[in-house]
Amino acid sequence: MWRNRDLIDLTEFTRKDVETLFKQADLFLETRLAPNKMLEGKIMASAFFEPSTRTRLSFESAMHRLGGSVIGFSSAEGTSVEKGESIEDTVRMLDNYCDVIVMRHREDGVMQRLAQLAKNPLINAGEGQSRHPTQALIDLYTIFKEKGMLEGLNYGVMGDVKHARAARDFIRGLSLFGVREVNLITPRELMPEEVFVKDLNARGVRLNHYERVEDVIGMLDVLYVVRLQVERFRDRSEAEALRGSYSISLKTLERAKRGLRILHPLPRVWELSSEVDGTPYAAYFKQVSYSIPVRMAVLSLILTDIERVQEGLI
């Protein structure tokens, strides 16, 4: 059940929860995202302490489409955090002004701590280098729409799996659907740390490692690409040395299956050539278009009794 829950860690949700969300997103798609008064009178606080374009704007757009309203800020600049206010106090304050808080922050582990303070649901819109659950829901939904299923497919994840929260939560999301194996395609320096690998193993997912995409491309059904997270390197020259160390072009796709679908949470930089955009492999713009129905589904399931209505419980 979604009602009144925080959405911080995707692994606290079940496959059934995610399928309920898919159904709700389908309903919004069927009505072509027509304005809907479901959340009239509700207020969403959008608290972004880290840069964001698509996540913040798509959450805000989703809330508006549901008839709700939005308050918030898009950087710490101009807030009392600049005067030295703690994030805890900022959340206590926001909690009084709204019905749901959507937050992005650079510190890993911050969301769990803040959720204990807030009486309203807290939605994680990107946390450090570890988590980005709503992006993962969009990614899973995109595969479901493209392929009709999530299990039984061969997955590749290419790029900075060490620092990219989108890639990491995508893999965690796959684990909910019983996916047993994911192929990581990345230079050794960008492999995730042991704790992450062990956690996935404990969830039944084996992570294989390839340095060259050519060695694995021919067997993939889904390839998830992420950019090098330059801003998360302490030493920028290390990031500079890895620039261009992995990429997808028409040439790399020569041996791909016809049904291969490429996803990317965006923004992209140099890792995915725009020459791929016009091919049937490219699913990343569809993925963007699903961000609105999926985030509408998240907000409506958390803020209303719609799930209970759907299940005939009321």
Q: Which of 55, 124, 183, 186 binds ligand NCD (CB under 6 A)?
A: 55
Strands 206-210 and 181-185, bridge-based pairing:
parallel
Helix, strand or coil, per DSSP, at residue 305:
coil
Q: Which of 56, 65, 131, 132 is catalytic?
A: 132
Is residue 232 near ligand NCD by the rule CB under 6 A?
no
Active site residue 257: no
For residues 57 to 96, the per-residue mask of contacts with ligand NCD, x marking binding by CB under 6 A and - elsewhere, is ----------------------------------------
Angle between helix axes 291-303 and 54-65 (nearest 10 degrees) is 60
Residue type, 57: L
Write the burial class of residue 64 (CB in 10 Å: 0-12 exposed, 13-18 middle, 19+ buried).
middle
Q: Which of 1, 15, 33, 54 binds ligand NCD (CB under 6 A)?
A: 54
Q: Which of 68, 121, 126, 128 binds ligand NCD (CB under 6 A)?
A: 126
Name the maximum alpha-carbon separation found in the chain: 58
Active site residue 55: yes
Residue 5 or residue 268: which is nearer to ligand NCD going by CB?
Answer: 268
Is residue 8 near ligand NCD by the rule CB under 6 A?
no
Closest CA to 267 of 138, 133, 117, 166: 166
Residue tagged 């649901």 (tokens): 121
Q: Which of 56, 65, 104, 162 is catalytic?
A: 104
Residue 46 or residue 306: which is nearer to ligand NCD going by CB?
Answer: 46
Is residue 168 near ligand NCD by the rule CB under 6 A?
no
User: What's phi and psi for 43, nearest 5 deg?
Assistant: -120, 130
Write the burial class of residue 195 (CB in 10 Å: 0-12 exposed, 13-18 middle, 19+ buried).
exposed
Residue 164 or residue 303: which is nearer to ligand NCD going by CB?
Answer: 164
Instruction: Judge contact between 245 and 213, C-beta under 8 A.
Output: no
Given the rule CB under 6 A, which of 162-170, 193-201, 213-221, 278-286 is the region that contacts ligand NCD? Answer: 162-170
Please report how close the Cβ of residue 84 comes to ligand NCD at its closest, in angstroms: 26
Q: Which residues are annotated as catalytic?
A: 54-55, 83, 104, 132
